Amino acid sequence: MNNSQILLDKKNAVAVITLNRPDKLNAFTGEMAIQLQEKLDECASNSQIRCIYLTGAGKAFSAGQDLSEVTGPDMRGFKNILEEYYNPIIKRIRKIEKPIVAAVNGVAAGAGANIALCCDVVVASSSASFIQAFSKIGLIPDSGGTYFLPRLIGWQKASALMMLGDKLSAKEAVDCGMIFKVFEDEEFASASMGLAERLSQMPTKGLALTKQALNSSFTNSLDEQLEAENVGQQKAGATDDYQEGVNAFIEKRQAKFSGK
């Protein structure tokens, strides 16, 4: 039996990272947060991996911080919890030079929701839900929630969801632009993995440069962003995959991208 709180499997060029405390709805312990950072690092440095698929074991994606851990005598303090556990996860997800699919298989609450929402492509099963649960216990949204959510769905909706802590269904989440797609529960695993497999066969460096440009798009001026695109396009244009893409188009055949 595997007792690891984070599982890492490889399916061809897709790394499957599974949050694995199903009896506690995959709530994060400190140890689990550190393990997730380690697995993300492993995926980042393995050139065979061209897409990461992040999901939860059992019926939940993640219920956020394990609340029984933060009240004990060994409590780390909020500064330490965020600096050591959550912020490094969010920064890694945004920096890793490959696409990350959040496959939200069930409830995603608190930090669990915000870890999902900072991924590159977020999809959910029809029975999944999203809760900015922080206000219900007197905390403020963390793990990048106050950064990403207003950018995804607009300031007013984000503000109301964060203050009220209302649960949003997967359908409501897709309707307001919080996530990309919803799949029926029965097809969720294969459809979401299908997206990850597709991404893993695309021009990986071009996707990484797209991600980098998107990272700066809400904070740059237009001039700065045009320059970021200029720099990124020069790098993308120097890749083998660009050559292959153009050759395949001209030769009227399917491109075979190598990720280089």
Q: Which residues bind ligand T3D (CB under 6 A)?
A: 24-25, 27, 63-68, 70, 78, 81, 107, 109-111, 131, 133-134, 137, 139, 142
Minimum CB separation of residue 21 from ligand T3D in Å reads: 9
Cβ nearer to ligand T3D, comparing 163 with 238: 163
Cβ nearer to ligand T3D, comparing 135 with 212: 135
Cβ nearer to ligand T3D, comparing 115 with 208: 115
Minimum CB separation of residue 82 from ligand T3D in Å reads: 7
Cβ nearer to ligand T3D, comparing 159 with 190: 159
DSSP 60: E
Q: How many residues does the chain have?
A: 260
| Alpha-carbon gap, residue 51 to 200, rounded angstroms | 5
C-alpha pair distances (Å), 147 with each of 155, 159, 163: 10, 11, 15
Minimum CB separation of residue 164 from ligand T3D in Å reads: 14
Residue 152 structure tokens = 């995804």
Cβ nearer to ligand T3D, comparing 80 with 159: 80
CB atoms within 10 A of CB 198: 14
| Alpha-carbon gap, residue 211 to 216, rounded angstroms | 9
Minimum CB separation of residue 28 from ligand T3D in Å reads: 7
Residue type at 182 in one-letter notation: V
The crossing angle, in degrees rounded to 10, of helices 155-164 and 145-153 is 130
Minimum CB separation of residue 118 from ligand T3D in Å reads: 14
C-alpha pair distances (Å), 136 with each of 49, 106, 164: 39, 20, 8
